[in-house]
Amino acid sequence: MKNLTDMMKQAQQLQSKLADTQAELENAEVEGSSGAGLVKVTLSGKGSMKRLHIDPSLMKPDEAEILEDLIVAAFNDGKTKAEALVADRMKELTGGLPLPPGMNFGL
């Protein structure tokens, strides 16, 4: 019976740590950029875009397609960094134990 009590206690501690980590990731910021920094996006640690900066030199009607490509590239760069941040936090929570792909407990 003691083992079950210990397991329940550990599960509650993990649940609390997960909630703390979710809040931390929502407040964390990562920056993605492209075009040598001419386009920058700031994302939360959970991947939602918070800010977009476009250098005024790119604001030309005849360069719209280039600008669109740079925005997508900057977002993808930031998303990759946000995913790496989540992976790092999961390693901390699980003590480095590998989890099945996609099992990130909603982080």
Identify the structural domains of the chain with CATH numbers, from first to last: 28-90 (3.30.1310.10)
**pLDDT for 48:** 93
Judged against a pLDDT cut of 70, whether residue 100 lies above it is answered with no
Quick: pLDDT tens for 37-57.
999 999 999 899 999 999 999
What percent of the chain has a predicted confidence (pLDDT) above 70?
A: 89
User: Residue 56 corresponds to which tokens in the numbers above?
Assistant: 């005024």
CB 80 within 8 A of CB 32: yes
Contact 27, 48 (CB under 8 A): no
Cα(42)–Cα(83) distance, rounded to whole angstroms?
14
Each residue of 60-86: b (16+ CB within 10 Å) or e? eeeeeeebeebbebbbebbbebbeebb
Helix (H, G, I), strand (E, B) or coil at 42: strand
For the entire predicted model, the pTM comes to 0.78
DSSP state of 62: G
